[in-house]
Structure formats: C-alpha cells, structure tokens
Amino acid sequence: MKRFLDFISVEKGLAVNTIESYKRDLKSYICYLKAQNIADIKSTSKTTIISYLLLMQKSGKASSSISRACAAIKSFYHFLARERYIDEDPTINLGTPKLEKKLPRVLTVQEVERLLEQPDTTDPLGFRDKTMLELLYSTGIRVSELISLTVDDVNLDMGFLRCFGKGSKERIVPIGSFAISYLRQYIIHIRNQLIKDKATNILFVNHKGKALTRQGFWKIIKKYARKAGINKEITPHTLRHSFATHLIENGADLRAVQEMLGHADISTTQIYTHLTKTRIKEVYDKTHPRA
C-alpha cells in the first residue's frame, strides 16, 4: 500500500487530501479482509470487493463515501496488476455505485448579508473574520484555498486573486469591490497586528500569527451563523454554494461560474441550476394564487 500511495503522489500527482482519503479507504478495506481471514491480496475477487461495498451500504455509509472507497480500491488493484503483484485485476468491469445527487444547502441573499454583518470590525480578529467572509462570498473559493492564500496571491489593483484548487490546479478569480476594500484595510492595518513580527507570507492568520486550519474557520462561520439567527446547517462550503447559486439566479453564464469555481466538469456546476429551479418552484408555490 505504501508503494501505491507513493505512486499516486509522485507519478499521478494527486492532491494531498485525495491521497489521505485513499489511504483511509484502503486501510478500512484491509481491515475487512483481515476480519474475513484473507491474508493474501491474491485471494480476493470481485465478489470480495462487492461484499465489502454492500457491507458499507448496510452500515449506513453515504453513497459518496462508498463511491470514493470504490474508486480507491479500483485504483489500488490497477496498480497491483500493473506492477505484477497480482495476475488479474478483479475490478475490471466493476461499476461505481451511482451517487444520489443531493442539492447543497444555500443561504438567501438576506441571510448572507446578516452573516456578513456579525463580525466586530473594531477588533483585529473580528476584522479578519469579516474580510474572510466577504472574500469567500465574493469569490466562491473553497475554505482550503482561502486558508492557503498568501499576500502575493491577491492583486487588489487588478481585482483578482490566484488560488490552487484540487490537484494543485491554478486559477484566477475576480474579487468584488466590497471584498477588495476590506482586504486592503486588512493587509495595511490589521495583518501586522496578528502576525506579531513572525516571518510568514500567509494572508489570514490566527491570534498566534500562524495559518488558520479548516476546522478553525468552520468554528468561526458557525459562531457568526448562530449570532445571525441562521438555523440552517452551515458547512465550510455554504458560502461557496451560495455564491454560485446567487450568480446563476441573476443570469450568470454557467461556463463562467464553472471557471470561477474551478470545476473540471461542467456537470458538477449544473447542480446549481437544479437548485435555482427548485427555489423558483418554492417561490411559485408560495405566491401564486392557484399554485
């Protein structure tokens, strides 16, 4: 397994998060094999793999988790066959479980405005939080991309930022005027108070002057959602989903939204068109006299 992980890291260049996910999925699969008294990978078959995936399904695992585990297992067996650890790849013609398309939860424009009003901008950390929230909603970047930004990644004069998404793919995203204004003030007046003379190029830092974590940001956004009286389930992706939905609701081109979100396939972006149709139907049902 270590050789496989080295292979997908060095030769295939997969993202660190993807490699970690594959590692967890394969460890679970190997634990299952041990529980079935299968000591040699050569003794496994397509039936073994299907039985494992069915067990995941029966134990209530999400279809997205099963699909990812299937992808990890297939990739592992492809590698074993290629390197001649096994004679035949049992995953050939093994289908991937179909995912249920769950519509992401989004905030209304009014809820976003309430959320953005919550941070106390007279406090350095509050001003940082306000800037981060404004930037997330303005650009639709992922939280992992936000916390990885450096000072050099933002060009306020041109109104763009550079970020690195899944697979370390670089993209350029426009920044709105509100976010630019807060970013400029944050960089000039606030950031130096937080880094405390530490040598770092990271744009957003915590109270110790170190890079924020994804979990740290999640706590921040949940705190402000509570203060804003928003009862919806909030995730680190909530503002990203809201950004895309509000753009499409206001007539943005789907291809442009795809570029800004960094989706490799436009079918991923199309979920937001389904979401807007659902919301239009809800509005219709609530407001039309003969709905």
Which residues are catalytically annotated? Answer: 142, 166, 237, 240, 263, 272
- Closest CA relative to residue 139, chosen from 154, 129, 151: 154
Region of residue 37 (left: phi > 0; alpha: psi -120 to 50; beta: else): left
What is the phi/psi pair of residue 217, to 5°?
-70, -40
CB burial of residue 291 (10 Å; 0-12, 13-18, 19+): exposed
Q: What residues contact residue 26 under an 8 Å CB cut-off, 6+ apart?
A: 1, 4, 72, 73, 76
Contact 220, 129 (CB under 8 A): yes
